[in-house]
Amino acid sequence: MTLRRTGALCGALVSVVLLGCGDDDPGEAQVVAEEPNKDIPHLGVDGEFTSDPLAVACPDDPRNPGRVVLEQMREFSFYSDREGTRPLAEGCGYAYEGFAPDPHYFPETPASVWLQFSLTAGGDGCEAFHYVIMRPPHGDGAVKHMHLRYGDAEASFAGLLGMSDGDEDDADKCNPWWSVYCSAGSEGCDI
């Protein structure tokens, strides 16, 4: 983590996000965080992931597709079952829209950021996944895990991010919504 002073124009940065760009006091320091996985091809957003039935939070939340297939940050497919036999939406095209800090855990946990994707193309079912945010695949060894949220065209990145500040005691709504996905076929990857 490094510090920068405001006063310079806030530009689009590929590997950093500035918090608080604007008309702040030029003497006030601003936080800059490095993007996770920045040296990994496709920021690690590539491969097949299955929902983790052993996850502590929200393992059976109906919002969690059973399988998610990510193809080089460009195309995502979603399946209702972990085996990938019942498609919800296949071959959905996405544009990477940068990343944003988690409103609950950042900056105490500097790597706690969400990658943001918006739908650019796709067939049946893709519109239900118009906005996708994910904490990128991470972990030690071959088994990785990630967290994913999504919404239709009426949703927004801000709304999906805001779920992190949800009522943790509200078991019926499972908020905040913390889906957990493991490298396909693995379990217990975030325990």
pLDDT, tens digit, for every residue of 144-157? Answer: 999 999 999 999 99
Quote the pLDDT of residue 34: 54
- Distance, in Å, from the CA atom of 20 to the CA atom of 6, rounded to the nearest integer, reads 8
- Distance, in Å, from the CA atom of 61 to the CA atom of 63, rounded to the nearest integer, reads 5
Nearest to residue 127, comparing CAs of 161, 91, 89, 84? 89
Beta-bridged to residue 78, according to DSSP, are: 68, 89
Query: For residues 178 and 26, which has the higher predicted lDDT (pLDDT)?
Result: 178
Lowest model confidence (mean pLDDT) among 21-25, 110-114, 118-122? 21-25
